Amino acid sequence: MTEFGRVLTAMVTPFDDSGAVDYERAKELATALLDSGSDGLVLAGTTGESPTLSSDEKLRLFREVRSAIGRRGTIVAGTCNYNTAESIELSREAAREGVDGILGTVPYYNKPPQDGLYAHFRTIAEAVDLPMILYNVPSRTVTNMLPETTIRLSAIDNIVGVKEASGNFDAVATIIEESRPGFRVWSGDDIATLPILALGGYGIISVASHLVGQQIQEMIRHHLEGRPDQAASVHRRLRPFFNSLFVTTNPIPLKYALGRVGFPVGRPRLPLVECDEKSAATVDAELQRATIDLRIATPA
């Protein structure tokens, strides 16, 4: 099985002043993230503003980032949406660009029942020769993938794990307990990483690792090596920073924060907007307290 790593960064998509994807900046950011605590990257996910990226932009992003990082880190491609056939097509094209896996986001808008979710993901997995990490994020998709559906899907060989952002720790515990051996659970919320690790989870697909990736790795290492007090201490220290990055819709605060620390990545694309003054003040206050791990690079 592909070892995706315990800390995967859900990478922002940089845009230039005209609103076009800034592929050179994306390559710089991907390299900097791997230098500052990330084991791998999730491209064109929620944080990467996938709804506003065209298929051509996504495929070029996968290709450019792979060219920049080589095999230093893994790439999980956000290729799945509410259209099963389209998800298969984009996933197959992403495989040709050299990605290591795909992110299976629960379909949004059309609200499939649980049997529909199972059939959707099974059909994609059987059609695409790549590992899949499922992504349950009901705050975004409305539909919540129930534990029993995830457990059923875990029996499919190339469905290797789930990014769980439901906030339901009982559901997470059930998935960990009843899924096939080796099926992994990554937290989908930075604030929930340590609790999910305590339940037997594997890692985090993170927003905050753009800026504090080494410290997140430190927290996970303390947990794995039997130092719960130290792990909890890191979690408590980072908790306000984690929360500040979600003071308004992600990735608005994150893009603002990256600019503030000297690694600008452009504005979000509409319908997302720039950070409002109140949210910016919250982020600024936490940036002043935080130790930033990101290797800062200035635009060429």
Q: What is the C-alpha R_g of the chain?
A: 18
Q: Report the C-alpha gap between 66 and 74 in whole angstroms.
A: 9
DSSP 104: E
- The single-letter code of the amino acid at 147 is P
Q: What is the 3-state secondary structure (H, E, C) of 184-197?
A: EEEECCHHHHHHHH
Q: Report the C-alpha gap between 73 and 100 in whole angstroms.
A: 9
Active-site residue (options: 118, 163, 202, 256): 163
Closest CA to 228 of 36, 236, 173: 236
> Are the C-beta atoms of 237 and 39 separated by less than 8 Å?
no
> Are the C-beta atoms of 220 and 10 separated by less than 8 Å?
no
Q: Report the C-alpha gap between 9 and 32 in whole angstroms.
A: 11
Backbone angles phi, psi at 271, to 5 degrees: -85, 5
> Are the C-beta atoms of 247 and 284 separated by less than 8 Å?
no
Residue 27 falls in the annotated catalytic set: no
Active-site residue (options: 23, 27, 118, 135): 135
Q: Report the C-alpha gap between 255 and 229 in whole angstroms.
A: 32
Residue 135 falls in the annotated catalytic set: yes
The half-sphere exposure of 274 on its side-chain side, counting CA atoms within 13 A, is 10
Q: Report the C-alpha gap between 18 and 9 in whole angstroms.
A: 25
Q: Report the C-alpha gap between 49 and 71 in whole angstroms.
A: 24
| CA pseudo-torsion sign 203, 261, 34, 19 | positive
What are 166's two structure tokens?
């439901």
Active site amino acids: 135, 163
